[in-house]
Structure formats: structure tokens, C-alpha cells
């Protein structure tokens, strides 16, 4: 792959970046053309100094091109689309080959949630600590194309709730299962039956594969294939807007005296999401982590 680097006035940055993407660039970024020189300046003010306004004095747009892409053709498209004349001082530079899989994997190490849940990415499968807490579970996880490594605060707080509160022998529904981490944790923490649901077929496949790798019995499926029925615990780690839309359905999936656990909610959104569930359950903040909250409630009999 190669990078196309070109100078750009500040007022062109957004529109030019969009046009380059439309023309076939794989991605774009913007940087200070004076980086690492005496003319470099912060885009935001430093403490005690004046705030820099209007972006950098000299901007560079960097577009990532696939092998075989014609940079002149891409530039010509952008010029025609925006009716501008791009500076002729653009240039190309090679992007060195890297083992992107290994580079990505290096960002995710073992994660301990409280004292009961240890998440091991599949590439750390042999790194189970000998001194891990007694009674803790170890989940070997390969996220694949699905969300859920255990590193995100929303996943972390849901795992903490399961480790702290999940009743033994519970029937559990994980709605929006992603990688299946919550469903697998629930099963390993003592749930009798776990259904995992996601609208993304890749997530359903990832959950099934991760459950098999951990020798756990989790039923992963798409929403329209989920059978009717209620659960002792329903957990949904999605985002606030879909959680509000799903409020009637998720609430009615909870048996009387059962629990509903929600995450993917920013602290400032907690009250609004709780209000959407108020006709069925009283939802309160169970935990907060890095600005994200876990809402939990018990349905009255």
C-alpha cells in the first residue's frame, strides 16, 4: 500500500477528505505539515498560553491507497467534485508491510474482572496465572469480527454484575451478544440455560465458536429465531437509543422477580433510559466505570 500526501488549506480539509474516500482511498487523516519543526503548533492551547484557532497553519491530508490505485485519477476526481485546484506538490510514500493481526492482538492482554472472572484472548491461552483467585472462571475469547473483549467499560460492568449477583441455575438471555462474552460468563458462573441473540450473523457465529472453545452450552441465534419465553436474567449491552426502543420487549422477557441488566449507557443518559423502562421495572445505576453505567432492576411479582 501507499500513502498520498498533499497540502491543503484548513477550509478544504473535511470536504477533500470525503472526496478522496469517494474516489477510492481506503482512509484519510489530517496532520500538521509543520510537525517536528520549529513552526509546529498545538491545535489546542497549552496551559497558560493562547488558544490556537483555525486549526494548523499548514495542513496535510494523507490518503491510504491500495496497490494499483492511480493517484492522479483520484486527485482529478476530487478536483472535479469540489471545483478546486489541488497543489501540485503532492507525493507518494510506501507503507511498510506489517503483521496487522499480531499488532492488533498485542493491544489486548488478560483482563481480570473483580476476583471471579478472568478474560484471556485466545492468543494468551497459555497465560493462566497459577495464583488466580479460588473459584474464579477463565474465559478464552477470540472476538473475531464481533464486539466484546472485556476491555470496554460497558462489558466490564456487566461482567461484574453477573459475577456478583447472578442466581445459580438461572435462565439467562444475552441480547446483543457480540462475541458472546456475557453469555459464556453467565453459563460458567452457574446459569442453567443461556440464549444469546444478535442481529449480526457474524456475532452469532463468533458467540457459537467462543462458547465451543470454552466448552459451554450457549444457544446463539438471530432475533427472529428466538423462541418465546421469559428469563430469570436478561442482560443487554447495546447503546442507549436501541435500548429505549427495545424497552417493552426486553422488559416482558423478564419473569416476575427476575432481573434486567443494561449497559452501553453513558452516565448522562441513565435517567432517560431508566424512564423508558419505568412502566415495567425500576432501573437504577448499579455501577459506573469511565463514564459508562450499568443499570439494573428487578421486576415486581
Residues 156 and 248 occupy one common structural domain: yes
Residue 243 lies in a domain: yes
Residues 79 and 194 occupy one common structural domain: no
**Crossing angle between the packed helical segments 13-23 and 71-82, to the nearest 10 degrees:** 130
Q: What is the pLDDT of residue 51?
A: 40
Under 8 Å between Cβ of 186 and 211:
no
Residues 273 and 151 occupy one common structural domain: yes
Q: What is the pLDDT of residue 245?
A: 95
Residues 93 and 208 occupy one common structural domain: no
Q: Is the full-model pTM beyond 0.85?
A: no
Residue 67 lies in a domain: yes
Confidence band (pLDDT; 50, 70, 90) for 106? low
Residues 294 and 165 occupy one common structural domain: yes
Write the CATH number for 151: 3.40.50.150
Q: Read off the pLDDT of each residue in 155-175 and give the average, rounded to a whole number.
A: 95
Residues 35 and 154 occupy one common structural domain: no
Distance CA 13, CA 61 (A): 7
The side-by-side arrangement of strands in the sheet containing 231-237 is: 219-221, 193-197, 171-175, 231-237, 254-266, 292-298, 284-289
Residue 129 lies in a domain: no
Residues 6+ apart with CB under 8 A from 154: 237, 263, 264, 265, 292, 294
Distance CA 281, CA 279 (A): 6
pLDDT over threshold 50, residue 48: no
Report phi then psi at 137, rounded to 5: -110, 155
Residue 182 lies in a domain: yes
Residues 41 and 171 occupy one common structural domain: no
pLDDT over threshold 50, residue 196: yes
Confidence band (pLDDT; 50, 70, 90) for 44? very low
Write the CATH number for 60: 3.30.70
Residues 6+ apart with CB under 8 A from 233: 166, 167, 170, 171, 172, 173, 186, 191, 254, 258, 259, 260, 261
pLDDT over threshold 80, residue 1: no
Q: Read off the pLDDT of each residue in 257-275 and give the average, rounded to a whole number.
A: 95
Residue 281 lies in a domain: yes
Q: What is the pLDDT of residue 114?
A: 78
Residues 294 and 154 occupy one common structural domain: yes
Residues 63 and 166 occupy one common structural domain: no
Mean pLDDT taken over the chain: 84
Residue 133 lies in a domain: no
Residues 150 and 267 occupy one common structural domain: yes
pLDDT digits 0-9 by tens, 209-260: 999 999 999 999 999 999 999 999 999 999 898 999 999 999 999 999 999 9
Q: Using alpha carbons, select from 80, 32, 78 the residue that is nearest to residue 56.
A: 32
Residue 137 lies in a domain: no
Q: What is the pLDDT of residue 125?
A: 61
pLDDT over threshold 50, residue 279: yes
First to last CA, the chain: 61
Residues 76 and 165 occupy one common structural domain: no
- For the chain, what is the domain count? 2
Distance CA 252, CA 254 (A): 5
pLDDT over threshold 70, residue 122: no
Residues 93 and 218 occupy one common structural domain: no
For residue 64, give its domain range: 2-97
Confidence band (pLDDT; 50, 70, 90) for 98? low
Q: What is the pLDDT of residue 53?
A: 41
Q: What is the pLDDT of residue 104?
A: 52
Residue keyed to cell 511498510: 96
pLDDT over threshold 80, residue 41: no
Say what percent of the chain tops pLDDT 90.
52
Q: Read off the pLDDT of each residue in 168-193 and give the average, rounded to a whole number.
A: 96
pLDDT digits 0-9 by tens, 62-79: 998 888 889 999 999 999
Distance CA 3, CA 30 (A): 12
Residue 248 lies in a domain: yes
Residue keyed to cell 432501573: 283
Amino acid at each position: 500500500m501507499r500513502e498520498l500526501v498533499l497540502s491543503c488549506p484548513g477550509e478544504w480539509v473535511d470536504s477533500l477528505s470525503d472526496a478522496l474516500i469517494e474516489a477510492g482511498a481506503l482512509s484519510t487523516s489530517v496532520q500538521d505539515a509543520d510537525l517536528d519543526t520549529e513552526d509546529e503548533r498545538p491545535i489546542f492551547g497549552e496551559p497558560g498560553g493562547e488558544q490556537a484557532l483555525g486549526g494548523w497553519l499548514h495542513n496535510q491530508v494523507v490518503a491510504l491507497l491500495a496497490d494499483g490505485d492511480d493517484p492522479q485519477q483520484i486527485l482529478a476526481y476530487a478536483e472535479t467534485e469540489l471545483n478546486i485546484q489541488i497543489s501540485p506538490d503532492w507525493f507518494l510514500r510506501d507503507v511498510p508491510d506489517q503483521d496487522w493481526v499480531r499488532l492488533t492482538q498485542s493491544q489486548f492482554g488478560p483482563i481480570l474482572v473483580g476476583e471471579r472472572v478472568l478474560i484471556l484472548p485466545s492468543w494468551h491461552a497459555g497465560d493462566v496465572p497459577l495464583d488466580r483467585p479460588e473459584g474464579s472462571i477463565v474465559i478464552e475469547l477470540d472476538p473475531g469480527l464481533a464486539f466484546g473483549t472485556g476491555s470496554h467499560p460497558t462489558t466490564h460492568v456487566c461482567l461484574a454484575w453477573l459475577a456478583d449477583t447472578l442466581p445459580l441455575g438461572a435462565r439467562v438471555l444475552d441480547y446483543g451478544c457480540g462475541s458472546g462474552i456475557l453469555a459464556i460468563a453467565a453459563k460458567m458462573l452457574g446459569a442453567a440455560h443461556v440464549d444469546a441473540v444478535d442481529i449480526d450473523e457474524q456475532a452469532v457465529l463468533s458467540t457459537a465458536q467462543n462458547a465451543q472453545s470454552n466448552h459451554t452450552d450457549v444457544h446463539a441465534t438471530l432475533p427472529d429465531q428466538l423462541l418465546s419465553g421469559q428469563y430469570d436474567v436478561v442482560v443487554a449491552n447495546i447503546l442507549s437509543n436501541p435500548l429505549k426502543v427495545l424497552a417493552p420487549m426486553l422488559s416482558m422477557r423478564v419473569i416476575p422477580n427476575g432481573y434486567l441488566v443494561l449497559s452501553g449507557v453513558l452516565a448522562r443518559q441513565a435517567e432517560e433510559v431508566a424512564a423508558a423502562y419505568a412502566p415495567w421495572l425500576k432501573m437504577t445505576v448499579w455501577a459506573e466505570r469511565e463514564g459508562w453505567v450499568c443499570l439494573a432492576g428487578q421486576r415486581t411479582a
